[in-house]
Amino acid sequence: MATHVSPEILIVMAPGATPDQTENVVARLGEAGVEARVSRGRESTVIGAIGERELLASLPLEGFPGVEQVLPILKPYKLVSRELSPDPTVIDVDGHRLGDGWFGLIAGPCSVEYREQTLETAHAVAAAGATMLRGGAFKPRTSPYTFQGLGVEALAILREARDQTGLPIVTELMDPRHVEEVLDAADVIQIGARNSQNFLLLAEVGRADKPVLLKRGLSTSVEELLMAAEYVAKEGNERIILCERGIKTFEQSTRFTLDLGAVAVLKTETHLPVIVDPSHAAGRRDLVLPLARAATAVGADGIIVETHPRPEEALSDAAQQIPVSEFGAFASEIADIAALMGKEIG
Ligand code: PEP
Ligand code: MN
């Protein structure tokens, strides 16, 4: 695909259109040099046509058998938009599902500090029903004088935690130079809030064969977040989990302002799953459960929570990590709310 083209139109097939008719449209688009992306939804089949506006306009698409409607894609984001894929996407990570009724419960320490701390946490969250283990190896710290993460040493500990518990690993990639090492340990690659609009890093993970957990930037709008996801999708990786983790506002009583309205908006704008990180938004452990409850009730497809065996000793985010000993009760309360929302822990 040329680098400047984007899917510009949607071809909506009639409810009774046959697979052959859809294939025919795709073939005719192909002959004209236009790439097509077919989305077979529960209600109808939609074809996104990727090509130059003028070329698309010159094709008599409306007259093709089985075609009901030809519409322009009006949103600046295309591949991640709900227009192009009306049905919600389910991300499957080693059998743990997230999206469309499957709720992800991702938990673990802010940072991998040492082997026992991470393994103890991993076993505890696995026993409590978590679906994935989080843990930072490369840490994006505000101050260069604080703990920066164990780096590759942490990745080895995370691999061991996965081997022992079977939990898929979520860990952050900060630098394209670490992509190979991180991909070797991570089952889901996290892009942190501070790198939410690092477009070269986004393109890098767009070429990776692993799901991406993309956090909203500290001052990133919903549209900017979706455009960041579009950078990943455009490179071919559409396994993206969006994460609301609080934004900067005038309000100082929480560390960041958790924008739950954005979660509701995202659910209408994109087919991608949307999760919430109540830990970084709250900044203090007593607020994590109430924010997690609200996130689940607003329709999030999962939460990502920081927990530590001895939070007061944590080398990063000590104030917001919940004790591992409390995680079981936390998880079961969230699972109950998820069930009320018609979701099952994935
Ligand atoms: C994290 O989840 O480890 C993290 C640093 O979060 P954020 O990028 O949202 O600040
Ligand atoms: Mn943290």
Within 10 angstroms of residue 326's Cβ, the number of other Cβ atoms is 15
Question: From the CA of 136, which ligand is nearest?
Answer: 1
Q: What is the pLDDT along the chain (346 residues), one digit of tens a residue?
A: 444 556 588 999 999 999 999 999 999 999 988 888 899 888 889 999 877 778 888 889 999 999 999 998 889 999 999 988 889 999 999 999 999 999 999 999 999 999 999 999 999 999 999 999 999 999 999 999 999 999 999 999 999 999 999 999 999 999 999 999 999 999 999 999 999 999 999 999 999 999 999 999 999 999 999 999 999 999 999 999 999 999 999 999 999 999 999 999 999 999 999 999 999 999 999 999 999 999 999 999 999 999 999 999 999 999 999 999 999 999 999 999 999 999 999 9
CA 273-278-283 angle, 5° bins:
150
**Sequence-ordered list of residues with C-beta below 8 angstroms from that of 144, at least 6 positions apart, any chain:** none
Answer whether 205's CB lies under 8 Å from 212's CB.
Answer: yes
Residues 226 and 270 sit within 8 Å (Cβ to Cβ): yes
Among protein residues, the one whose CA lies closest to atom 10 of ligand 1? 193
Q: Is 7 in the pocket of ligand 1 (CB under 6 A)?
A: no
Taking only the tens place, the pLDDT of each residue in 66-81 is: 999 999 888 999 999 9
At 277-287, the pLDDT tens digits run 999 999 999 99
CA of 271 to the centre of ligand 2 (A): 27
In ligand 1, the atom with minimum distance to the C-alpha of 140 is 5
pLDDT tens sequence across 87-131: 999 999 999 999 999 999 999 999 999 999 999 999 999 999 999
Which atom of ligand 1 is nearest to 136's Cα? Answer: 3
Atom of ligand 1 nearest to the CA of 192: 8
Whole-structure pTM value: 0.94
Instruction: Assess whether the C-beta atom of 135 lies below 6 angstroms from ligand 1.
Output: no
